[in-house]
Structure 1
Amino acid sequence: MYAVWKLCWTNLKNKKVQNSFIAIIIMLAALLLSTAVLVLNNTNRMYENMHAETRGAHQILRLENGIYDPNRVQQWWAGQEGVTVSEVMRYRYLSSMSHAGEEIPNVDLYMMDTPNGPFPVDRLLFAEGEETSSPEAGTAWIPTSLAYSNNIRVGDAIEFKTDEGSFRLHVAAVVVDISYCSPFATSGRIWLNHQDYNTNLSALPGDDKYMTGLRFDDYSQNRAYWERFEQFLGTPYLESVKDFESLSSYYMIANQVISFVMIFLAVVMIAVALYTLGFTISDAILSSYRTIGIIKSVGLSSRKVILAYVTQYTFLAFVAVIPGIVASYAFSAKIVAGSMAYLSTGSTDDNAAYSMLAIWLGAAVVAVIFLSALLFSYKARTVEPAQAVRYGMSEKEYSRRSGGSGRWKRKLLQLGTLPTSLIIGLRGVTKNVRGSLLIVLISALSTSVLVFGFLFVNSITSIHGTIAKWGYDSADLSVRIDNPAKLTFERLQEEVLSDPRVKNYSRYGDANAVLPLDQGSSAKGQADTMGVLLTVADGNYDDIGYENVEGRNPAGVREISIGVNVARTLGIQTGDSLDIYIEGEKHTLEVTGIYQAIANMAFTGRITADVIRSVNPDYGSTMNTTFINLNEGVSVDQFVSELHQRYGNVLWTASQATLVDEVFSQAFTIIVLPMSVMALLFIVITFVIIYSICRIHMKKESRTYGIYKSIGMTSRQIRLSETTGILFLSAIGALVGIPLGLLGLPPLLNLVLADYGIVEVPLIMNGGGIALMIPLSIAAACLGSWTASKSVQTTSPRLLTVD
């Protein structure tokens, strides 16, 4: 065993740089893999722990249309064993909130009449402020999603506008409201004192709406409860239900995307590391062929020679994995902290579960390296001592080299028109075929990752240009009448919408709907009904920029366009008809289009206002929001400023850019850091691997370099010649990597986001930015080659020739 360890230690000591770079590759692969798994694990764990701690709702029933008695519904659920039910909570909708004199755009607020705590379902955790049973008069509790994103602190004043005027409250607490404080969501619950609710909201026109939360001891059994519940009602449940999948989706989506990219890159990096390991071991065996033959001739068995190589690289893997796993703690913690910030109360430690998972991941990486080293080093069994001592290689390889094979290579190198430096560079390329193929592969992968990473990040930062493909409108601006008593729609139409600068407009509203799930064969195993949120347009959907992935937008009274997840659940295609209950009334509509949407996971639909007017002629009077497009060349910001000055608080106005930034600004923050780090890691990997390959090749060719120097070539010329060959290879790899990054990787991302309602991720091509990514992998490859050839500069021709 001493001989094995001595041989192993000699290999480690004599090839410090090469072994160090292999260790770096293994470390970075472990870092990415561990980070990805930790992000997924801790995102799920943090959300599930918080959901359990707060006894979060699995379903939230919203009774808004007066179809059922809220107390009767609540009492039925409260009588079911295995179900915990919240009180019936009154609320009203508001869509205007101001802080420090600035209105917060794009909010959808549930103004809650707060029952006395603690709540049996969806308990509130106090991140800031004193915990009390209910807010005091003149104060409110607000969710972390509104507070953190708008820098609202305890004690700040917030103002709400209603149809009758406005009222002001002070923030008494910032709370984690598990069901309504997720990233990217624009809705939130504002918890009011009972007297404040009665004073400011109950007196408003219209009826109170009601909400109750359900928590199941076993959520998988919820269908059985719903079957009995609908038997109790005597009809399908025709009000709105928000399910656990929808409640939790926004917490998971960003980290799902990041983890997908990390796992993909980690797998690629491990594959590259294993290929590099195989290349290195094979080359080590060939370069030490005579030494191995001598060792075997004095009695050391093939098994022990193999064991020396296996021990060497397993030891390297063990040493490299440890810092990779340790670094992944900080990296994953940074990602999780950013994406799950709205669940933070500042008093929890979320790192306790990392250690055991990290140990298993590290052990898995070491095991893979061990098995690979064992496989690749098996070639040492074929070393015959006599052939090794005589030829320094196998007799077959000696005959091949002596036989003058490779006619096409000689013809290539005999092209007299090529510069001498290029010929020498191409000679190195053709002589080291396996290494050259690996360089092409690494360059292709690096380029594809850089191109895809830039494409994805650029698409998120430039999402204004593709917002319609994410399921939103793409109108230039939105206006909302906040005080109908002072500004009617007819007056708005006369004074604003008839302005010659306005190109077109459409009024917007929404409605709750229920779909019976016996319409499609793919709905088996699910509940009998499905709630969807409908977008309702009094105007032309095409004018305000809504898009479909199939078919067209609805235009008639018997038409509907549905989200991709609705279509998939029901097994419906364009041209099919479906039965749908809208505000309790049954309609049979034709599906004219299918669209993707990130909002509500595409469990949504689009109809025209005429559909609801067919049973409710007064529906249009409640549509206070209007989308507006301006003529080309008209400044949106100037138009918005004019409306602010003219109408003040009576009319809320915001540009599309403002609304998009409000929703997606956090996505940019969460995604850009990990993607940037991963791009940097791949550049480092490219440099390290190509340095290692070139270092091995140049050491084998040291005698040739001595001859070059002895006939007058300078060290700089030799180094430039070798780098030119690598430039040629990396350029080929980059050309292969461009289509892979543009066309090969995006479909994988589509698979990840399909469940969230996005089946074709909207990507924005930026030729200039993509062109800037391509030279990065080439530059890393050339720098690796140039750095590896430094030994040529410091060694004399005589020593090189002797070597």
Structure 2
Amino acid sequence: MYAVWKLCWSNLIIKKVQNSFIAIIIMLSTFLLTTAVLVINNTNRVYEDMHAKTHGAHQILRLENGIHDPGQVHQWWAAQEGVRASDMMRYRYLSSMSHAGEEIPNVDLFMMNTPQGPYSVDKLLFVQGEERKAPEPGTAWIPTSLAYSNDIKVGDPIEFKTDKGTFQLRVAAVVIDISYCSPFATSGRIWMNDQDYDTHMSPLHGGDMYMIGLRFDDYSQHRAYWEGFARALGGPYLESVKDFESISSYYMIANRIISFIMVFLAVVMISVALYTLGFTISDAILSSYRTIGIIKSIGLTSRKVVSVYVSQYTLIALMSVLPGIGLSFFFSNQIVNSSMAYLNTGTDRNVQFLELAIWVGAVVIAVIFLSALLFSYKAHSVQPAQAIRYGMSEKKGSRALGMESTWKKKLLKLGSLPIEMVIGLRGIRKNARGSVLILVISALCTAVLVFGFIFVYSISSIHGTIGKWGYDSSDLSIRIDNPAVLSYDQLREDVLTDVRVKNYSRYGDANAVLPLNQELSAGKNQDTMGILLTVAEGNYDEIGYENIKGRNPLNDQEISVGVNIARSLNIDLGDPVDIYIEGVKHTLTVTGIYQAIANMAYTGRITAEVIQEGSRDDESVMNTVFINLQDGVSIEGFVNELHLRYGSAIGTASQAALVDEVFSQAVMILILPMSIMILLFLIITFVIIYSISRINMKKESRTYGIYKSIGMTSRQIRMSVTAGIFVISTLGALVGIPLGLTGLPPLLNFILADYGIVKVPLIMNGAGVAAMFPLSIMAACIGCWLASRSVRTTSPRILTME
């Protein structure tokens, strides 16, 4: 055993640089894989812990259309064992909020009449401000999602616009409202004092709406409660329900994307590390063939020779995995804190060092151990007599001479190339396994660089593809806030007929319920499915709504549905769908299927004529106008002109402002992890090619000594070697570009499919792709150039003798 450890330690000392680079590859692979595991588990943990701490709702009922009696609904749920029901909370909708003189775009506000605490469901956690049972008169509590994203602090005045005018409230507290403070969400609950609610909200047009939060002791049993509830109602519940999956989805989506990409890249990196390990061990056995023969001839068994290499690389893995796990703790902490910032109570939150992370490290070590055992097994075949005589097996020696003769013949055909290029190409052909590895790592590195750039660029430039994400792509929107000052008919006559207006469409939304048949309801654990409908008066195509299949609806007999609706109901183009829209049953034909990130694509699109057939007045539904302007017309100038003419009677926002409000946080969350992963692959490319080049330099030392003895300078030799690496890495980069553009995006489609995006809208940027192309080549060439420094300081005589 002493001899095994002595040889193992000797290999570690003699090949310090090579072993260090293997250690770096293993460490970075462990880092990526462990970070992904920690991010996924801690994201779930942080949310679940906060959800339990605040007694978060599993479902939220919104009774807005007068279809069911709110008192009867609340009474039934409050009487059920195993269910906690919140108070029956009154609220009204507003869509205008200003801070520091600037209107906050794209907000949907639930102006809540705050019940007296304590709250049995959705307890509010106070992050800033004094905790009270209810806000004082003239003040309000706002969620962290609105406060953090708009830099609103306690004591700041905020202004709201209604059809009766404007009113101000002072922010008395910033609270974590678990059901309405997720990232990317545009809705939030504003908690008002009872007197302020009666003063400012009760006089508004329409009646009060009611919200009831439900928390189940066992959420998996909620279907049984809903069956009993339907029997009590005498039919299906036809108002709006927000499920737990929808409540939690936006907390998880960013980290799921990051973690999925990390796991994929970690697996790729580990595969490359294993291939590099196999290459290194094979080369070590071949370069020490005669030594192994001598050792075996004096009595060391093949098993002990194999154990030398297994011990060596297992020890390297042990030393590499621990810092990789430690580094992942810091990095995953940054990702989780960034994506879960709206649940931050102000105290330090650290990622839990899960036992699973230790298991990940143990798996990596086990894989390295088994790989080292597999690759070093060829030491069994070393025959002492052949090894001592030939320095390799007799068969391999004969084949090498034949290959050399063939290569010399091929070199004669390359006489027109510079001598440096000929020598470089000879090195590629002679070291085939190393060349294949360089080709693969260059292709993978370029693919990751291209994909990472395209993905981040597409998210940061999402306004160019916003229609493919399920939103409109109109130039601006106008919302009438005071119908007494400006009616829709007056707006149409004064503004929408302006020659600068290219087209327009009036827009709104409505709640709907889809009944599920028995087979589908068994799979969904429910009898109905609540969805949000987009309602448009005009042409959906003109305002930029897109479908991935079929077309938008054109009349009152048609509907376009989100991909998750189509998948849940197993419907396709041309199929009829029974749907209750605000209590009125319709049978509509599916004309289109679209993807949407909002509401996880559990949505639909109908024309305004469908609503006009119902019991509600379409004026209460159609509350926004989307406008496209003629080419060359300034959007900002047009908006300023509207404000000068109508003042606070309207609210306007450009499409770019609305998009930035929703997706700017996504860019900030994604940029750091993607940048780190791109940097890691560049480092891996450099490390692997440096290591391969050093191995090849030692193998070819006698040849390079001959080159120097006949007059070639060290620089010429180094240029020759680097030229060969340049050729093979360029080929790899050329393969990597289409792989990054077409091979990796389907993996992203897979992870986002449940969130309503089945084909991620990526924006191709030729200049950016061109900028990514040379990076892996540069890393490869720099690694090779630095590895060849030994030629510069070694004499021809020593090189030839080696």
Instruction: Identify whether the pair has TM-score above 0.5, normalized to the shorter chain.
Output: yes
Partner amino acid, structure 1, of 2:135: P
Residues in 2 aligned to 1:441 and 1:276: alpha-carbon distance in whole angstroms: 11
Counterpart of 1:385 in structure 2 is 384
Residues in 2 aligned to 1:412 and 1:576: alpha-carbon distance in whole angstroms: 68
Q: Deviations over 1:542-596 (max 9, x none)?
A: 1100000110001101111000000000000010010000000000000110000
Counterpart of 1:13 in structure 2 is 13
State the identity as a percent.
Answer: 72
Counterpart of 2:421 in structure 1 is 422
Q: Note the aligned Cα RMSD (angstroms).
A: 1.2
Alpha-carbon distance change, 417 to 13 in structure 1, aligned in 2, over 3 angstroms: same
Partner amino acid, structure 2, of 1:167: F
Counterpart of 1:186 in structure 2 is 186
Residues in 1 aligned to 2:671 and 2:478: alpha-carbon distance in whole angstroms: 32
The answer (yes or no) to whether the contact 2:509–2:621 under 8 Å persists in 1 is: no
Counterpart of 1:86 in structure 2 is 86
**Secondary structure, aligned partner of 1:524:** helix
2:743 is the alignment partner of 1:741: no
The answer (yes or no) to whether the contact 1:522–1:570 under 8 Å persists in 2 is: no
Residues in 1 aligned to 2:446 and 2:452: alpha-carbon distance in whole angstroms: 10
Alpha-carbon distance change, 406 to 603 in structure 1, aligned in 2, over 3 angstroms: farther
Residues in 2 aligned to 1:726 and 1:222: alpha-carbon distance in whole angstroms: 62
Residues in 1 aligned to 2:505 and 2:699: alpha-carbon distance in whole angstroms: 74
Partner amino acid, structure 2, of 1:517: L
2:109 is the alignment partner of 1:109: yes
- Tell me how far 1:232 sits from its aligned partner: 1.1
Structure 1 segment 154-169 matched on structure 2, within 5 A: 154-169=154-169
- Tell me how far 1:446 sits from its aligned partner: 0.5
Structure 1 segment 699-718 matched on structure 2, within 5 A: 699-718=698-717
Q: Deviations over 1:602-623 (max 9, x none)?
A: 0000001100101237313542
Structure 1 segment 337-416 matched on structure 2, within 5 A: 337-351=337-351, 353-404=352-403, 407=406, 410-412=409-411, 414-416=413-415
The answer (yes or no) to whether the contact 1:454–1:769 under 8 Å persists in 2 is: yes
Counterpart of 2:513 in structure 1 is 514
Counterpart of 2:51 in structure 1 is 51
Alpha-carbon distance change, 54 to 409 in structure 1, aligned in 2, over 3 angstroms: farther
Counterpart of 1:452 in structure 2 is 451
The answer (yes or no) to whether the contact 1:609–1:620 under 8 Å persists in 2 is: no
The answer (yes or no) to whether the contact 1:97–1:159 under 8 Å persists in 2 is: yes
The answer (yes or no) to whether the contact 2:4–2:307 under 8 Å persists in 1 is: yes
- Tell me how far 1:479 sits from its aligned partner: 0.7
Structure 1 segment 654-693 matched on structure 2, within 5 A: 654-693=653-692
**Secondary structure, aligned partner of 2:491:** helix
The answer (yes or no) to whether the contact 1:503–1:630 under 8 Å persists in 2 is: yes
Residues in 2 aligned to 1:41 and 1:77: alpha-carbon distance in whole angstroms: 33
Counterpart of 2:761 in structure 1 is 762
Structure 1 segment 158-557 matched on structure 2, within 5 A: 158-351=158-351, 353-404=352-403, 407=406, 410-412=409-411, 414-518=413-517, 521=520, 524-557=523-556
Residues in 2 aligned to 1:285 and 1:734: alpha-carbon distance in whole angstroms: 31
Alpha-carbon distance change, 226 to 705 in structure 1, aligned in 2, over 3 angstroms: same
The answer (yes or no) to whether the contact 1:62–1:209 under 8 Å persists in 2 is: yes
Partner amino acid, structure 2, of 1:782: C
The answer (yes or no) to whether the contact 1:313–1:373 under 8 Å persists in 2 is: yes
- Tell me how far 1:76 sits from its aligned partner: 0.9
Residues in 2 aligned to 1:771 and 1:553: alpha-carbon distance in whole angstroms: 37
Residues in 2 aligned to 1:413 and 1:438: alpha-carbon distance in whole angstroms: 27
- Tell me how far 1:358 sits from its aligned partner: 2.4
Residues in 2 aligned to 1:647 and 1:326: alpha-carbon distance in whole angstroms: 59
Residues in 1 aligned to 2:518 and 2:559: alpha-carbon distance in whole angstroms: 16
The answer (yes or no) to whether the contact 1:145–1:182 under 8 Å persists in 2 is: yes
Larger mean CA deviation between 102-111 and 373-382 belongs to: 373-382
Residues in 2 aligned to 1:265 and 1:413: alpha-carbon distance in whole angstroms: 43
Structure 1 segment 572-583 matched on structure 2, within 5 A: 572-583=571-582
**Secondary structure, aligned partner of 1:354:** coil
Q: Deviations over 1:332-364 (max 9, x none)?
A: 11111111000111125333x214232222111
Structure 1 segment 552-701 matched on structure 2, within 5 A: 552-616=551-615, 618-620=617-619, 622-701=621-700
Q: Deviations over 1:623-647 (max 9, x none)?
A: 2210000001111122112222222
- Tell me how far 1:157 sits from its aligned partner: 0.6
The answer (yes or no) to whether the contact 1:238–1:584 under 8 Å persists in 2 is: yes
Counterpart of 2:24 in structure 1 is 24
Partner amino acid, structure 2, of 1:139: T
The answer (yes or no) to whether the contact 2:510–2:621 under 8 Å persists in 1 is: no
Residues in 2 aligned to 1:517 and 1:617: alpha-carbon distance in whole angstroms: 25
Counterpart of 2:100 in structure 1 is 100
Counterpart of 2:145 in structure 1 is 145
Partner amino acid, structure 1, of 2:245: E
The answer (yes or no) to whether the contact 2:478–2:625 under 8 Å persists in 1 is: yes
Larger mean CA deviation between 359-368 and 273-282 belongs to: 359-368
Q: Deviations over 1:485-526 (max 9, x none)?
A: 111111111221111110000001100000001187586343
Residues in 2 aligned to 1:641 and 1:412: alpha-carbon distance in whole angstroms: 73
Partner amino acid, structure 2, of 1:374: L
Partner amino acid, structure 2, of 1:461: S
Q: Which runs of 5+ in 2 are unaligned?
A: none
The answer (yes or no) to whether the contact 1:522–1:569 under 8 Å persists in 2 is: no
The answer (yes or no) to whether the contact 1:413–1:427 under 8 Å persists in 2 is: no
- Tell me how far 1:793 sits from its aligned partner: 0.7
**Secondary structure, aligned partner of 1:567:** helix
**Secondary structure, aligned partner of 1:28:** helix
Alpha-carbon distance change, 634 to 37 in structure 1, aligned in 2, over 3 angstroms: same
Alpha-carbon distance change, 429 to 410 in structure 1, aligned in 2, over 3 angstroms: farther
Counterpart of 2:787 in structure 1 is 788
The answer (yes or no) to whether the contact 1:413–1:426 under 8 Å persists in 2 is: no
Alpha-carbon distance change, 474 to 519 in structure 1, aligned in 2, over 3 angstroms: farther
Counterpart of 1:802 in structure 2 is 801
Alpha-carbon distance change, 621 to 79 in structure 1, aligned in 2, over 3 angstroms: closer
Residues in 2 aligned to 1:617 and 1:540: alpha-carbon distance in whole angstroms: 22
**TM-score under structure 2 length normalisation:** 0.99
Residues in 1 aligned to 2:157 and 2:35: alpha-carbon distance in whole angstroms: 41
The answer (yes or no) to whether the contact 1:111–1:191 under 8 Å persists in 2 is: yes
Larger mean CA deviation between 443-452 and 358-367 belongs to: 358-367
Residues in 2 aligned to 1:525 and 1:247: alpha-carbon distance in whole angstroms: 17
Alpha-carbon distance change, 497 to 403 in structure 1, aligned in 2, over 3 angstroms: closer
- Tell me how far 1:259 sits from its aligned partner: 0.7
Residues in 2 aligned to 1:657 and 1:562: alpha-carbon distance in whole angstroms: 25
Residues in 2 aligned to 1:348 and 1:218: alpha-carbon distance in whole angstroms: 31
Q: How many residues align?
A: 802
Partner amino acid, structure 2, of 1:594: I
Residues in 1 aligned to 2:617 and 2:361: alpha-carbon distance in whole angstroms: 65
Residues in 1 aligned to 2:404 and 2:782: alpha-carbon distance in whole angstroms: 32
Partner amino acid, structure 1, of 2:774: P
The answer (yes or no) to whether the contact 1:63–1:211 under 8 Å persists in 2 is: yes
Alpha-carbon distance change, 122 to 800 in structure 1, aligned in 2, over 3 angstroms: same
- Tell me how far 1:410 sits from its aligned partner: 3.3
Partner amino acid, structure 2, of 1:468: G
Larger mean CA deviation between 613-622 and 176-185 belongs to: 613-622
The answer (yes or no) to whether the contact 1:519–1:570 under 8 Å persists in 2 is: no
Residues in 1 aligned to 2:365 and 2:331: alpha-carbon distance in whole angstroms: 21
Residues in 1 aligned to 2:207 and 2:139: alpha-carbon distance in whole angstroms: 23
Residues in 2 aligned to 1:630 and 1:146: alpha-carbon distance in whole angstroms: 31
Counterpart of 1:69 in structure 2 is 69
- Tell me how far 1:311 sits from its aligned partner: 0.9
- Tell me how far 1:64 sits from its aligned partner: 0.4
The answer (yes or no) to whether the contact 2:185–2:662 under 8 Å persists in 1 is: yes
Residues in 2 aligned to 1:794 and 1:122: alpha-carbon distance in whole angstroms: 72
Q: Which runs of 5+ in 1 are unaligned?
A: none
